[in-house]
Amino acid sequence: MSKKIICLFDVDGTLTEPRQPINPQIEKFLLETVKKEFDIAIVGGSDLSKIQEQLDGKNLFEKYKYVFAENGLIAFKDGKALPSQSIQDMLGEDNLQDFLNFVLRYISELKLPFKRGTFVEFRTGMMNISPVGRNCSKKEREQFYEYDNEHHIREKFIQALKKEFPDLALAYSIGGQISFDVFPIGWDKTYCLRHIQGYDEIHFFGDKTVEGGNDHEIYESNFTIGHRVTCPKDTVNQLKILMTLVKENREKEQLSVSMHCA
Ligand SMILES: [Mg+2]
């Protein structure tokens, strides 16, 4: 019996350039080549509408067996919604407001080369916090990203939050170029794995796999086989390698079966 395999992809930096739509050739390869061999699924940290924008959202649920937005807090299997939880239920309104008030105060005291709008985006299972504001142009995102690499704005912000709220069971992860995510511990991308059943192997592909990155936990999880990629092209290359390996193994199995029969 050949193994049942599902390939699960991060979105930003893995299937698409950050916040950009998927390259049609990459999508074609996924849907016409990879999907013949394996089931395919996606897990993004963003909300569903952003993922739909990036992955040519019409028929999104037909293209992918599972669609996980917000790390799997918003989950669909074959287009049907699966149960979800919210961050306000988990934290309670009082804690949540203390936290948000601190965040807004901290941002108000931060001097950067520039600031734009939408500093906090409240999602189902997480908050996305951007010191520079999410309404940046593509160029401004890149400028902030460079500035942050030098001055560690996001890292310092996270340290301040950890110090202020040591008792809230929150995890922090830096993803993308301009923001970081805050969510209850365990609500990282591994959250989506509870929904995936019936496979011998789950292959996860992600670009932010080092500690502190938003793919780290699921990449390291015992339930996945992790693939670290550098860009969408690298994802394609690694898929080609995986398909070759799986094909070779199948041929070996068939050979040993036929030798047993002889
Ligand atoms: Mg990514």
Judgement on whether residues 172 and 224 belong to the same structural domain of the protein: no
Residue 11: give the domain boundaries.
5-85+188-261
Q: Of 184, 206, 221, which marks where a domain is finished? A: 184
Judgement on whether residues 137 and 74 belong to the same structural domain of the protein: no
Judgement on whether residues 195 and 143 belong to the same structural domain of the protein: no
Helix, strand or coil for residue 223? coil
Ligand 1 centre and the CA of 89: distance in Å? 27
Residue by residue, pLDDT tens for the chain (262 residues) are 678 999 999 999 999 998 899 999 999 999 999 999 999 999 998 889 999 999 988 899 999 999 999 999 999 999 999 988 899 999 999 999 999 999 999 999 999 999 999 999 999 989 999 999 999 999 999 999 999 999 999 999 999 999 999 999 999 988 789 999 999 999 999 999 999 999 999 999 999 999 878 899 999 999 999 999 999 999 999 999 999 999 998 888 888 877 776 5
Residues surrounding ion ligand 1 at CB below 5 Å: 10, 12-13, 207-208
Would you tell me how many other CB atoms lie within 10 Å of the CB of residue 197?
A: 7
Judgement on whether residues 154 and 215 belong to the same structural domain of the protein: no
Tokens read off for 125: 């299972």
Judgement on whether residues 134 and 170 belong to the same structural domain of the protein: yes
Judgement on whether residues 106 and 174 belong to the same structural domain of the protein: yes
Ligand 1 centre and the CA of 186: distance in Å? 18
Q: CA–CA separation, 195 vs 69, rounded Å?
A: 13
Ligand 1 centre and the CA of 197: distance in Å? 23
Ligand 1 centre and the CA of 55: distance in Å? 14
Judgement on whether residues 145 and 158 belong to the same structural domain of the protein: yes
Active-site residue list: 10, 12
Helix, strand or coil for residue 186? coil
pTM (2 d.p.): 0.81
Ligand 1 centre and the CA of 36: distance in Å? 25
Q: Of 164, 184, 204, which marks where a domain is finished? A: 184
Number of domains in the chain: 2
Judgement on whether residues 79 and 134 belong to the same structural domain of the protein: no
Q: Of 118, 150, 184, which marks where a domain is finished? A: 184
Rg value, the chain, Cα? 20
Judgement on whether residues 65 and 19 belong to the same structural domain of the protein: yes
Ligand 1 centre and the CA of 156: distance in Å? 21
CA separation, residue 209 to residues 8, 174, 184, 199, 218 (Å): 14, 11, 19, 23, 8
CATH of the domain at 142: 3.30.1240.20
Q: Show contacts of 74-79: CB within 8 Å, 24+ apart.
A: 74/47, 74/48, 74/124, 74/125, 75/192, 75/195, 77/195
